[in-house]
Every structure is written in C-alpha cells, then in structure tokens.
Amino acid sequence: MYIDDVCINIQGLSVALQIANPTVVAKVERLAKATGLTKTAVVEKAIDRLASETGTRPQSGRMAALLAQLDRVPDRLDAFNALEWDDQGLPK
C-alpha cells in the first residue's frame, strides 16, 4: 500500500488509523462486507477515487520536495564506485 510507503518509504512501519465517527465506521464495514474487500482496501479505494477526482496524489507535494532536496546533494568526487558504467548509465 502506498499510503504508508509514501512517508519516506519506510516499509514495515505502520500507524493505526482510528476513526472516531461510528457512522463512518459502519459505512466502511458495510462496504467491506458488500464488496468482499478488507476494511483497509475499502478505505484505500475511497482515497484513491477522491484523489483522482481532485487530480491530486496523496503526499505528492511532500515527496516532490524530498526528491528536490536529494537532487541538491552534490556528488562526491572522491566516491568509490566498484561498477563500470556504459554511456547509457547502465552497469557493464
């Protein structure tokens, strides 16, 4: 699931989501039972659908900012690279 993975790509780290509204919990349970999906899958599909309707991806701005920061880290000239690379950037 990308919901957890977007957060700096730390796999295995999960944070429980607690829904305090009993009406919402009942809706999720009803949809899960009707569709045969897990409650997690129902919530994920709902988030994906809402994200596509709004034209956004969850956390896409944070991920882009993180990647931009990593791109600004200069390459080390003294770095050792045990692999030889071809002109297309692939290992030989």
Task: Evaluate the CA torsion angle 44, 49, 50, 54 in order and state its sign.
Answer: positive
Would you say 28 and 43 are in contact if contact means Cβ atoms under 8 Å apart? Answer: yes
The pLDDT assigned to 1 comes to 38
pTM comes to 0.46
Residues 45, 48: Cα–Cα separation, whole Å: 5
Q: For 11-36, how does the pLDDT look when each residue is reduced to its tens digit (9 = 90+)?
A: 555 667 788 888 999 999 999 999 99
Q: What is the identity of the amino acid at 6?
A: V
The pLDDT assigned to 34 comes to 94
Q: For 62-86, how does the pLDDT look when each residue is reduced to its tens digit (9 = 90+)?
A: 777 888 888 887 777 777 777 888 8
Q: 19-44 burial, b if ≥16 CB within 10 A, otherwise e?
A: eeeeeeeeebeebbeeeeeeeeebbe
